[in-house]
Amino acid sequence: MESDNSLQPVTILMVEDDDGHATLIERNLRRGGINNPIIRLKNGREALDFLYARGQYAGASFPVHLLMLLDLNMPEMDGYQVIQVMKEDERLRVIPVVVLTTTDDPVEVQRCYDLGCNNFVTKPVNSLELAKTIQNMGLFIHIMSFPCCA
């Protein structure tokens, strides 16, 4: 099958405050065949600083094609606030947001969708189940690509 050079790979923004979860997520994405670049950000404020090129990211430009894996419960600024800011911004609202968190409360899930998240994945507490969930999500990421913007 011929490669389409007009399609560009997606850079994954992993917004996760827990070092253990971040390591497990990245390791299992790699095991799932995901070779996309992964940028890890530790909280919602850092994620928005990255996207708006401010703070420690002042002057930097971010990749054109992004997918955000977003934890909800983080210090400084939680995932709900990040989704709300992103979806209110014309430039950022096009970035797909996959919430990846331990809660499975239907009210919280609905709140995320109401704010504009694109998908919601519950992190199993068991690390083997989490590994399987992340690997399955990797299949989804693997097939994602976006048309190149000129």
Please name the residues in contact with 70: beta carbons below 8 A apart, sequence gap of 6 or more.
15, 47, 79, 82, 83, 97, 98, 99, 100, 101, 117
Domain annotation covers residue 36: yes
| 119 vs 19 pLDDT, higher one | 19
Computed over every residue of the chain, the mean pLDDT equals 82
How do residues 105-148 score in pLDDT, each as one tens digit?
A: 999 999 999 999 988 888 765 556 665 666 666 555 655 554 44
What predicted TM-score, i.e. pTM, was given to this entire model?
0.82
Domain annotation covers residue 67: yes
Query: What is the pLDDT, as a whole number, of residue 125?
Result: 56
Q: Which two three-digit tokens encode residue 109? A: 């899930």
* High-pLDDT (> 70) share of the chain, %: 77
Q: What is the CATH number of the domain that holds 118?
A: 3.40.50.2300
How many domains does the structure of the chain reveal?
Answer: 1
Domain annotation covers residue 1: no
| 149 vs 93 pLDDT, higher one | 93
Q: Which domain does 67 fall in, by range?
A: 7-147
Domain annotation covers residue 2: no
The answer to whether the beta carbons of residues 14 and 25 sit under 8 Å apart is yes
Domain annotation covers residue 59: yes
Please name the residues in contact with 46: beta carbons below 8 A apart, sequence gap of 6 or more.
15, 55, 56, 76
Domain annotation covers residue 132: yes
